[in-house]
Structure 1
Amino acid sequence: MALYHNPPMAYAQEPTTAPIEHRFNPYSDNGGSILAIAGSDFSVIAGDTRQSEGYNIQTRYARKVWQLTDKAVLATNGFAADGNNFVKRVKQRLEWYEHAHHKPMGLKSIARMIQTMLYGKRFFPYYVYNILGGIEEDGTGAVYSFDPVGSYEREACRAAGAAQSLIQPFLDNQIYFKNQQPEPGAAPFIPGNLPLGTVLSLVVDSFTSATERHIEVGDGMEIYVVMKRGRTTDDLLGDNKLAPGMTIEELPSLGESVGGVESEGEGQGGERTFLVRQALKRD
């Protein structure tokens, strides 16, 4: 019995802690929301300016919407560092294209290029949800939405980000007219036929209501309005007046002379882009 009274340590002790698994997670969700709405001859792309991580506000002004060309505006949301890096690479490719072909890339081609860039990084993707809005070559407004690995489609409206679950049902009802019954004899609902003033009001209402309900949305809002060549600006605000804290400015054309050939859209008669800024709740 004495031989087995004190068993060897290897058999007597059992591990008291579980194995430690090491993981590498470089991503973070920096909150905020973006949306875009396509009209018959215009597009509206908007995003708030708050950048946060959880309940901690990192900055109250971080851009989420970027003008790429006179016809295209890109909104990004998700991991802010990935979004800024991705926009930088998209602008670089657009510059290469313009120097090689002496004209800016069209909106449909930009959407395809973004899809290729996102899919090429699918094994270590950009943690960014992108919405591209602008004017097609035929003069119609268009919106393209993307997931982080490149799947995309053209839509009449799309929201993304922290408050997507609040904003998208509202857009579905007001833009796609879901759950609405037309009056007898009324004209059928056609998405994209709303006037510009009404669309701007919907955008402001979307972000104002989301700010009241979501801690990761707020501080300010930037709205880019891209108009078809030759379109008037009389209905930019519709029947609305400038609200307190709202400003409107026309952005200069991004067209430039490349290789001695003027880029399409330069000067008078090209597409016009306006930037509308609106203050939001800062709590």
Structure 2
Amino acid sequence: MALFATHAAPAAVAAPVEHRFSPYDDNGGSILAIAGADFTVIAGDTRQTQGYSIQTRYAQKVFQLTDTTVLAVNGFAADGNNFVKRVKQKLEWYEAAHHKQMGIKSIARMIQTMLYGKRFFPYYVYNILGGIEEDGTGAVYSFDPVGSYEREACRAAGAAQSLIQPFLDNQIYFKNMTFPAGEKPVPGNLPLSTVLGLVIDSFTSATERHIEVGDGLEMYVVMNKGRGTEDLLAAGVLPDGVSIEEVPPLGEGGGERTFKIYRSLKRD
């Protein structure tokens, strides 16, 4: 007769497993916009990535909304494409009801409302809206994914934001620069030729330093009515291998002109 009863050791209890689902991704790329006295330049690269894998070398990030307004989107590509589609749909409804295109200030407010309405399951998209105001001045509005926005002279977003924005702060807002008394330039008054050079330099540098930026650069230049193209077509402003085309007006418009510029971004 056994003195002690033997019992099987209890089975090990498995640790609880936490299940998570995230519909979001970051597809790389960068965008920026710079406003001038009577023009705005909105630009973005064409690379789309997932981690260190390149999904496509041409993914559009900059879209024309009206004859005076262009929207650049960056972040989760699927959300960005869906958001642009919804914005364009609302603008079509507005034009059909009012027989005119919506102004950039009203578009900025509409975008804010759309983003804030989805704040509990937001679009993972950073938006930069650029164009011409009703008074003929260049304007840039930047948004976070839940709708907070402000008007600025320049803004960058995306994978290379930490590289590009300090450069723009220095060159557009003249931060950390010293000038003789009374000679400091006013932000937003740089000539178009200078702004185009800054945009190209920004993306060329970002391409050299960031794997998620590259392949191609698309720039939209929105000019106020009566503005000539001398700065745009001036010799030496744009490097060789750049294609320029004038975008046909989407509606009757007020005489504003939009040009689309494309150049390749290559690492040597």
Q: Over aligned residues, Cα RMSD in angstroms?
A: 1.7
Q: 1:171 to 1:241 in 2, by over 3 A?
A: closer
Q: What amino acid does structure 1 have at the position aligned with 2:152?
A: E
1:274 aligns with 2:263: no
Matches within 5 A, 1:25-174: 25-174=22-171
SS of residue matched to 1:68: strand
What is the Cα deviation at residue 13 of structure 1? 3.3
Contact 1:197-1:235 at 8 Å conserved across structures? yes
Corresponding residue of 1:5: 5
Which aligned pairs between 1:105-254 and structure 2 lie closer than 5 A? 105-182=102-179, 184-185=180-181, 187-238=183-234, 240-254=236-250
- Asked if the contact 2:37/2:138 (under 8 Å) is kept, the reply is yes
CA shift for structure 1 position 185: 4.4
Distance in 1 separating the partners of 2:184 and 2:18: 58
Q: Deviations over 1:103-130 (max 9, x none)?
A: 0000000000000000111111111000
Instruction: Tell me how far 1:231 sits from its aligned partner.
Output: 0.8
Equivalent pairs counted in the alignment come to 268
Runs of at least 5 residues in structure 1 that lack an aligned partner in the other structure = 256-262
Gaps of 5+ in 2: none
Amino acid at match of 1:79: F
Going from structure 1 to structure 2, the CA distance change for 1:5 and 1:235 (only over 3 Å counts) comes to: same
Partner of 1:259: none
Q: Tell me how far apart the structure 2 counterparts of residues 204 and 49 of structure 1 sit (CA, whole Å).
A: 14
Of residues 8, 12, 15 in structure 2, which corresponds to 1:14?
A: 12
Residue 226 of structure 2 aligns with an amino acid whose one-letter code is G
Counterparts of 2:20 and 2:176, CA distance in 1: 45
Q: Which amino acid aligns with 1:240?
A: G
Distance 1:112 1:88 in 2: 17
Partner secondary structure for residue 236 of structure 1:
helix
